[in-house]
Amino acid sequence: MIKRRVAVLILAIVSSTLLVGCNNLSREHPDRIVNVDPSIGYLDGKFRICRENCPKRTEKVLDDADYAVMQAPPVSIQQSEPPITLPVSIAIPANEHADIFIVQFEFGKSIPTSNGYKTIALLTKAAKQTAVAIELIGETDDIGTQKYNDKLASRRMNFVVRWLKSHGVNARISVEAKGGCCHPAPYDTTETALQEKRRVQAKVQQTIEKGGRTRK
């Protein structure tokens, strides 16, 4: 029992001495005592707790072209957008006739330009009167990634499909989407050659009855 008490007393004295020494060290040499808060670092492929010089994970490299397509504000092209493309007749079998309509779209959007809406109105009128089959091809300019533009071309094509069906067009409709890629930066979104690629091409096919009249 006496030995145990002596051991406890010695331990208490040693602990007090150490505490006093640490306290004096912090007063006399404050520069040697540094409080380092733990942080999160990227170590060996995982995020771990570390205290000094914590390595950070490498940031993703942003695709500038894709970012430009998604973030660019709508481009005002009322003064410079391509003119309305009137339907063009193409040569096909003798008892058939086809017209091509070009519906232009806004930059990075599945919404037609002001002239595009005028063209889609002409397309709808022709399709309701005489069409037996309609072929639609959604297209984009080549600003942006292939993945983004493929989706954009599909959305433009689907816009025209929904428009025609909602306006009473019952003709058979076949569809295709072709996104462009990959114009290097910098680029001018108002460039005429690029504007002309933002479109849906519609081929309206009609059957011609005897006497030269299209079927209605």
Position 55: which residue type? P
pTM tops 0.75: no
pLDDT of residue 181: 87
CATH number at residue 77: 3.30.1330.60
pLDDT of residue 165: 93
- In Å, how far are 15, 90, 124, 154 from 159, measured between CA atoms? 80, 25, 13, 9
With respect to residue 31, please indicate whether it lies within any of the assigned structural domains.
no
| Tens digits of residue pLDDT in 148-174 | 999 999 999 999 999 999 999 988 999
Rounded Cα distance, 151 and 183, in Å: 17
Q: Which domain holds residue 161?
A: 64-207
| Tens digits of residue pLDDT in 12-38 | 665 555 555 555 544 555 555 445 566
| Tens digits of residue pLDDT in 93-146 | 556 788 999 999 999 999 999 999 999 999 999 998 877 899 999 999 999 889
pLDDT of residue 190: 85
Rounded to a whole number, what is the largest CA-CA distance in the chain?
Answer: 130
With respect to residue 12, please indicate whether it lies within any of the assigned structural domains.
no
With respect to residue 37, please indicate whether it lies within any of the assigned structural domains.
no
Residue 69: count of CB within 10 angstroms of its CB: 21
Rounded Cα distance, 215 and 47, in Å: 70
